[in-house]
Structure 1
Amino acid sequence: MTSFLDPFISFVAAHAWLAYLTLFLAALLEAVPVVGSVVPGSTIILALSALIPGGELKLGWVLLAAATGAMLGDGSAYWIGHRQQREILNTWPLTNYPRVVEESESFFHRFGTWAVFFARFVPPIRAFVPVTAGALGMPPARFYAINIPAILVWAPAHVLPGVLAVSALHEYAGLHHHAHVGKHIWILTVAAVAIVLGVGLWFIRRRHVGGAAEAKPRA
């Protein structure tokens, strides 16, 4: 993966418009059922975000591209499920991933509406919960009321760690002035919140898996 990403990142660094398009497509495809479990969207977003401190890309446009792609991907998957209902869960290509589909449905039943929020941070079911929410009859207003805030948290949580890491390297290399210390503290604070959120979601994920295992009847 690294052998592919390194020349790719170097190329898009010289073509900002292509970088923003790549960010958009990475976030969109990561939200598509089945495709999202194959495309390394999070890795691409994190790698491209490292170009922000050097000025190749702008933070605002990176966040916008990632958030827009995620909203379109989640929204499209939800509407497919909403229109076809449970039938979509029993059709190709979802039938090739019965374990993930079952896990996504169990996740949705366990956390209810909040499953849409939590799943945005839990691969690979991130790509399956929106279509599952639609297939199980979740109203559109309720879906978007949770999905949009989730994406607005998810995008900075994926972008800012890369910005922080590269900014810290620049700082140690003496490439930034002391006047920029406040900016780094702000980035560090946001990244710390993202890490805490990630740990909390990991704990919830562990409880979900443990609860599902306990619920299975023993032979």
Structure 2
Amino acid sequence: MDLMQFFDMILHVDKTLGTLLAQYGTYVYIVLFLIVFCETGLVLLFFFPGDTLLFIAGAFCATGQMSYPLLMALLIIAAITGNTLNYYIGQAVGHRVFTHNYRWINKDALQKTHDFFEKHGGKTIILARFVPVVRTFAPFVAGVSEMTHARFQMYNVSGAVLWVASLVTAGLFFGNIPIVRDHLTEIVLVGVSAAIVPLAIGGLYKFGRRVMSR
């Protein structure tokens, strides 16, 4: 297998994980660790698989081909350290990211994440875990916005545990049900919407009370 074929398998890991397991055995744990680390840690690789990777890996845990505890531990560490690297890169680049034309940054994705961050604040670090592309840019924007390291890590660790645990566990129990597997993205987005709506209602309620008290 040449490098391009291997890269194609990585991009479509939700369909090729079984083949990777057959060919590389336990080395697949390293591959999955690196995919999650790179997708969350490098804005250049925002297109790497995330949600589907966790879900399908959980499904292979259900068949006994992968270890659920080991997979959980490795992917949580990958998600935390990946976000941390991205945060530091954002800090290093700073606010000039919005004024300079960096060819390695997707401006549309950056602006989308910045708007998301402005609306939801620190909670974006948690919520963004479940939104493709935004997930990769959120820690970068947090670094650019000079969020304190302690506050960032609080949201970072919480979001990583919630993201990995929920999707891997969902894959463990439901990954071999075709209708769930085929509509994973829609199911995840509905779940995120369900989390955001109460926050939005709470914000509107507080805003309304301030207006009425004037």
What is the aligned partner in structure 2 of residue 92 from structure 1? 102
Write the letter of the residue equivalent to 2:102.
W
Per-residue deviation, 1:199: 4.3
Whether contact under 8 Å (1:29, 1:41) holds in the other structure is no
Per-residue deviation, 1:109: 1.1
What is the aligned partner in structure 1 of residue 123 from structure 2? 114
* Runs of 4+ off more than 6 Å: 204-207
Whether contact under 8 Å (1:32, 1:74) holds in the other structure is yes
Matched, 1:200 2:194: yes
Of 18, 30, 49, the match for 1:9: 18
1:147-177 C-alpha deviation (Å, 9 max, x unpaired) = 10111000012211221125779xxxxxxxx
Matched, 1:146 2:155: yes
Looking at structure 1, the residues matched to 156 and 114 of structure 2 have their Cα atoms a distance apart, in angstroms, of 17
Per-residue deviation, 1:80: 1.0
1:115-144 C-alpha deviation (Å, 9 max, x unpaired) = 111111111111001010000110000000
Looking at structure 2, the residues matched to 48 and 132 of structure 1 have their Cα atoms a distance apart, in angstroms, of 29
Matched, 1:127 2:127: no
Aligned CA RMSD, in angstroms, stands at: 3.1
Of 101, 104, 123, the match for 2:110: 101
The range that moved more, 12-21 or 149-158, is 12-21
Matched, 1:46 2:40: no
User: Is the partner of 2:82 in helix, strand or coil?
Assistant: helix
Whether contact under 8 Å (1:104, 1:128) holds in the other structure is yes
Looking at structure 1, the residues matched to 72 and 60 of structure 2 have their Cα atoms a distance apart, in angstroms, of 13
Looking at structure 2, the residues matched to 197 and 127 of structure 1 have their Cα atoms a distance apart, in angstroms, of 19
Whether contact under 8 Å (2:72, 2:165) holds in the other structure is yes
Q: What is the aligned-residue identity percentage?
A: 21
Looking at structure 2, the residues matched to 140 and 88 of structure 1 have their Cα atoms a distance apart, in angstroms, of 20
Whether contact under 8 Å (2:58, 2:169) holds in the other structure is yes
Whether contact under 8 Å (1:85, 1:136) holds in the other structure is yes
Looking at structure 1, the residues matched to 17 and 110 of structure 2 have their Cα atoms a distance apart, in angstroms, of 33
What is the aligned partner in structure 1 of residue 169 from structure 2? 160
Of 32, 36, 55, the match for 2:64: 55
- Matched residues, number: 182
Distance 1:13 1:66, change over 3 A: farther
TM-score (normalizing by structure 1):
0.70
Per-residue deviation, 1:198: 3.4
Write the letter of the residue equivalent to 1:149.
S
Looking at structure 2, the residues matched to 202 and 37 of structure 1 have their Cα atoms a distance apart, in angstroms, of 22
| Unpaired stretches in structure 2, ≥5 consecutive residues | 1-7, 179-187, 202-214
1:83-134 C-alpha deviation (Å, 9 max, x unpaired) = 2311245452454x22211111111111111111111111111100101000
Write the letter of the residue equivalent to 2:19.
S
